[in-house]
Amino acid sequence: MRKALQNQLNGQNHEKYKIIAVDDEIGIIESLSVFLKRTDYEFVGITDPVEAIETIRKEHFDLMLLDFMMTPLHGDEVVEEIRKFNKELYILLLTGHKDLAPPLETIKRLDIQGYCEKSDKFDQLLLLIESGIKSIKQMYEIKRINEELAESNEKLEQAYLDMVQTLRYTVEAKDTYTRGHSDRVSEFSVLIGEKLGLPEDQIKTLRVGGLFHDIGKIGIPDKILLKNDKLTDDEYSEIKNHPSIGAHILGAAAIFKAIIPIVKHHHERYDGKGYPSGLKGEEIPYLARIAAVADTFDAMTSRRSYRDALELQFVKDEIKRCEGTQFDPQIAEAFLDILENNFDKIQEIQEKY
């Protein structure tokens, strides 16, 4: 397992990415150094968290592996300082035990991308590094494109649409289910938005946000994303990271600002039991609440490797049953009205993709 993962890491690095590890246990630093220096990464290990902050202030790093329980500063205090001057560093927190990890609210507030329990095996950590590097690559590519666009404002609109297609195709090359799914979610979202009488700028945001809502799957390991069997709890936890990964990727480009709430929050639930932020009711961005209904409808009415498409009446009943729990009641009712009185439009979209 470890050898296969290491080969994946070696094969996907055509450029040098710099990783810094911060842990007050010299043995951990030495173990990471031995392993990561066999890859194409540049590696720096530091045992003093205060020194690490100053090093990151002076040098560029792409990803940081950070111990939580350290002296004189805990990991969350280190991140607090770093986020004052560096918002983009991809951070993976290492804990001796998951019960010792900081609260979820702290992890979200400090934009920590993930955490992993320490182990004498590196399997889980390698999966997280792989996901992180994929996200970082995509973020840098978007930044590069955005910088080029800034030089050609008159071509911004067309280039923007081209980027949507290019990045979507990158995800679709990994996950065949995504092919067609994002198109349908986009168009279903637009139907709902039009039914609700939203202005044209919000309709456009729904259209593009729907196309992009699963872009974060680029950062999910293929062995999880393409698995046909039931996912383990750990694997499902990895899948649940894709909204945050997508938001992190798109956050590098100002032109994607309007769609980030859709990308990040389309799996929130109206009762607050969704992810990644556990937002409730009107705390959830309005357009994300629309995309959530469209996304769930398409998931239920699409054939998957493990089941056939569900019957339409069953789907309608489920949407009705989940009003006020999973879905915004007003939005769910608007979509049910479309299904009841304008189903031909739904069928046109399904036949198109």
Q: Give residue for tokens 């729904």.
A: 206
| Phi-psi region at 268: left, alpha or beta (left = phi > 0; alpha = psi -120 to 50) | beta
Report DSSP state, residue 100. Answer: G
CA distance 29 to 94: 12
- CA distances to 141, 144, 227 from 148, rounded to whole Å, are 11, 6, 37
For the chain, 353 residues long, give each residue's pLDDT as a single digit of tens: 444 444 444 444 446 889 999 998 898 899 888 888 777 788 999 999 999 999 999 999 999 998 888 888 888 899 999 999 998 899 988 887 666 666 777 777 778 888 777 776 677 787 888 888 888 988 888 888 877 766 665 566 667 667 766 777 777 776 666 668 999 999 999 999 999 999 999 999 999 999 889 988 888 888 888 777 788 888 888 899 999 999 998 887 777 899 999 999 999 999 999 999 999 999 999 999 999 999 999 999 988 766 788 999 999 999 999 999 999 999 999 999 999 999 999 999 999 98
Return the pLDDT at 2: 42
Q: Look at residues 303, 293, 295 and name the one whose alpha carbon lies nearest to residue 336.
A: 293
Q: Look at residues 192, 184, 172, 167 and name the one whose alpha carbon lies nearest to residue 255.
A: 167
SS3 258: coil
Amino acid (1-letter code) at residue 29:
I
The strand pairing partners of 194, in sequence order, are none
CATH 1.10.3210.10 domain residues, the chain? 154-352
Q: Give yes or no for a contact between 264 and 244, defined as CB atoms under 8 angstroms apart.
A: yes
Return the pLDDT at 1: 40
| Domain topology for 154-352 | Hypothetical protein af1432 (1.10.3210)
Q: Look at residues 63, 69, 70 and name the one whose alpha carbon lies nearest to residue 91.
A: 63
CA distance 134 to 346: 35
CA distance 306 to 279: 30
Residues 6 or more apart whose Cβ sits within 8 Å of residue 18 = 41, 42, 43, 44, 59, 60, 61, 62, 63
CA distance 202 to 260: 13
Q: Whole-model pTM?
A: 0.60
Amino acid (1-letter code) at residue 76:
D
Residues 6 or more apart whose Cβ sits within 8 Å of residue 77 = 49
CA distance 214 to 247: 10
CATH 3.40.50.2300 domain residues, the chain? 2-125
CATH of 2-125 given 3.40.50.2300, 3.60.130.10, 1.20.1260.10, 3.30.70.60: 3.40.50.2300
The strand pairing partners of 344, in sequence order, are none
SS3 207: helix
Q: Look at residues 67, 72, 37 and name the one whose alpha carbon lies nearest to residue 51.
A: 72
Q: Give yes or no for a contact between 275 and 268, defined as CB atoms under 8 angstroms apart.
A: yes
Q: At 50, give phi and psi (nearest 5°).
A: -65, -45
Q: How many residues does the chain have?
A: 353
CA distance 16 to 63: 12
Rg, Å, the chain Cα set: 21
